[in-house]
């Protein structure tokens, strides 16, 4: 029988392990299925196609055409009023035209802009990836924390429930007063109210988790120990240097400025000439009574120079120059903002690290104090019911504070990664 029970227990534990939602599995699920991320990936595909379109303008165009017509003339008169010769005309025309642009100052700028556009789309995808992954991390840790708080409140209700029973027994023995019992009952009612709040908090966190990550049957399946320990910059200066190369907001600002420069170049090119070379070969087969075949080759060079367009082109140049200046100013601002954001994230990480140590010490001290006060109370010392209740309350608040501090410390680490641009699938190894 013992062997059977062990086997059953083994399979129960195995099943719970298999279905456990680890931190990494949750992030992978988000990375793969999030609709916002998938939409951003399609934007990258669009940018790649736009580059192909702009590149095609460098290549010659070849046009093939053919036509067939029939003309029947039943009666004609010449200038003297006599009958003219009647011919049936039935021509077939075939042609091939090859065109190549030789000079177009704006075309190269447009292609370079589209190349930048691909890098810009990648940077925006990285930014969206960071945002979604951070939301996922907040949702995961939020549900873990809410579940822990629920357990703490359940434990507190059970403890106070036992306290009420103990006080009622001691009241019958004359060891405590009626007010002592009332105090413990009031404390129990308050704990039950907090328990309801904790249950609602768990429900809200679960709904948020499912909205961002996906379905989850039981919050107990979340594995707190699976939360990955990440490598962080060694110091603030290191974090700043990393951010200069990897922060997507900074990369986006730089690329948008580069694009604005290409727009200015393209606008100025509208004032410059363009040159094209075309070759056309036409073959005509006249299938009339007098068979006639004709071939014609045409080589044509065309230069176009927009001399005046009502000031439209000049205005376009000035507009592009103003937009270029705007993007340059935004780049400068983003550079400064990046330094501030990284410094703030680093400071937040350091403070949460220190706070966590302090709260852990607080919980340890509260546990020791509570055990001592409860033991003294149960042994019949001068400890009062109020002292026991106050001790339980202090311990409860410390435990709740610890759950919050642990989550905030974890979030501060990933927020620091996000600020320097490393909160991505490659760095987290979740692809």
**Residue 260 near residue 120 (C-beta atoms within 8 A):** no
pLDDT value of residue 38: 86
The phi and psi torsions of 60 (rounded to 5 degrees) equal: -70, 155
DSSP string, 142-200: HHHHHHHHHHHHHHHHHHHHHHHHHHHHHHHTTSS-HHHHHHHHHHHHHHHHHHHHHHH
pLDDT tens, position by position, for the chain (431 residues)?
444 434 444 444 444 444 678 999 999 999 999 888 988 888 878 877 776 666 665 556 656 555 555 555 555 555 565 555 555 555 666 666 666 665 555 556 677 777 888 899 899 999 999 999 999 999 999 999 999 999 999 999 999 999 899 889 888 888 888 888 898 899 999 999 999 999 999 999 999 999 999 888 888 888 888 888 899 999 999 999 999 999 999 999 999 898 888 877 776 666 666 666 666 667 666 655 555 566 766 666 666 656 656 566 677 778 877 888 888 899 999 999 999 999 999 999 999 999 999 999 999 999 999 999 988 888 877 788 888 889 999 999 999 999 999 999 999 999 999 999 999 999 999 88
Which residue bears the tokens 């992954």?
133
> Regarding the domain with residue range 23-68+88-425, which homologous superfamily does it belong to in the CATH classification?
Outer membrane efflux proteins (OEP) (1.20.1600.10)
pLDDT value of residue 43: 83
Q: In what order do the strands lie in the sheet with 274-286?
A: 61-68, 91-104, 274-286, 292-304
Buried b (16+ CB within 10 A) or exposed e, 284-306: eebeeeeeeeeeeeeeeeeeeee
Q: Which structure tokens are listed for 196?
A: 């309801």
pLDDT value of residue 273: 63
pLDDT value of residue 319: 80
pLDDT value of residue 323: 83
Which 3 state secondary structure label does DSSP give 289?
A: coil
CA 250 to chain CA centroid, nearest Å = 16
pLDDT value of residue 12: 41
- Would the pTM count as exceeding 0.85? no
Which residue bears the tokens 């924390």?
145
Which 3 state secondary structure label does DSSP give 233?
A: coil
pLDDT value of residue 46: 80
pLDDT value of residue 299: 66
Q: Report the number of secondary-structure helices (H) and strands (E) in the chain.
A: 10, 6
From CA 265, how far away is CA 272, in angstroms rounded?
11
């Amino acid at each position: 029988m013992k062997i059977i029970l062990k086997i059953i227990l083994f399979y129960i534990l195995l099943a719970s392990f298999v279905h456990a939602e680890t931190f990494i599995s949750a992030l992978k699920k988000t990375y793969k299925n999030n609709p916002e991320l998938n939409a951003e990936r399609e934007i990258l595909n669009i940018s790649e196609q736009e580059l192909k379109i702009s590149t095609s303008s460098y290549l010659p165009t070849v046009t093939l055409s053919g036509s067939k017509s029939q003309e029947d003339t039943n009666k004609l008169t010449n200038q003297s009023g006599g009958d003219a010769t009647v011919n049936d005309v039935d021509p077939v025309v075939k042609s091939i035209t090859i065109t190549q642009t030789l000079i177009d100052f704006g075309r190269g700028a447009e292609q370079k802009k589209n190349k930048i556009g691909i890098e810009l789309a990648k940077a925006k995808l990285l930014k969206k990836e960071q945002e979604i992954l951070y939301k996922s991390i907040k949702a995961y840790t939020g549900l873990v924390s809410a579940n822990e708080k629920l357990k703490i409140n359940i434990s507190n209700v059970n403890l106070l429930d036992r306290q009420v029973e103990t006080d009622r027994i001691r009241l019958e023995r004359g060891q405590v007063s009626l007010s002592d019992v009332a105090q413990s009952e009031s404390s129990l009612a308050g704990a039950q109210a907090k328990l309801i709040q904790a249950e609602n908090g768990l429900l809200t966190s679960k709904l948020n988790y499912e909205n961002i990550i996906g379905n989850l049957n039981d919050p107990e399946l979340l594995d707190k120990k699976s939360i990955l320990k990440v490598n962080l910059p060694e110091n603030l200066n290191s974090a700043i240097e990393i951010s200069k190369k990897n922060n997507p907001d900074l990369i986006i600002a730089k690329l948008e400025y580069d694009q604005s420069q290409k727009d200015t170049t393209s606008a100025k090119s509208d004032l410059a000439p363009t040159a094209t070379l075309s070759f056309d070969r036409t073959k005509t087969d006249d299938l009339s009574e007098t068979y006639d075949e004709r071939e014609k080759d045409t080589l044509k060079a065309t230069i176009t120079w927009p001399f005046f367009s009502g000031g439209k082109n000049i205005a376009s140049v000035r507009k592009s120059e103003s937009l270029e200046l705007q993007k340059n100013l935004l780049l400068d601002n983003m550079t400064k903002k990046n330094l501030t954001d990284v410094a703030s994230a680093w400071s937040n990480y350091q403070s949460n690290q220190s706070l966590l140590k302090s709260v852990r010490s607080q919980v340890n001290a509260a546990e020791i104090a509570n055990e001592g006060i409860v033991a003294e109370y149960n042994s019949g010392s001068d400890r009062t019911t109020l002292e026991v209740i106050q001790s339980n309350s202090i311990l409860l608040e410390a435990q709740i504070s610890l759950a919050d501090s642990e989550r905030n410390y974890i979030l501060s680490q990933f927020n620091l990664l996000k600020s320097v641009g490393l909160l991505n699938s490659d760095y987290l190894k979740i692809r």
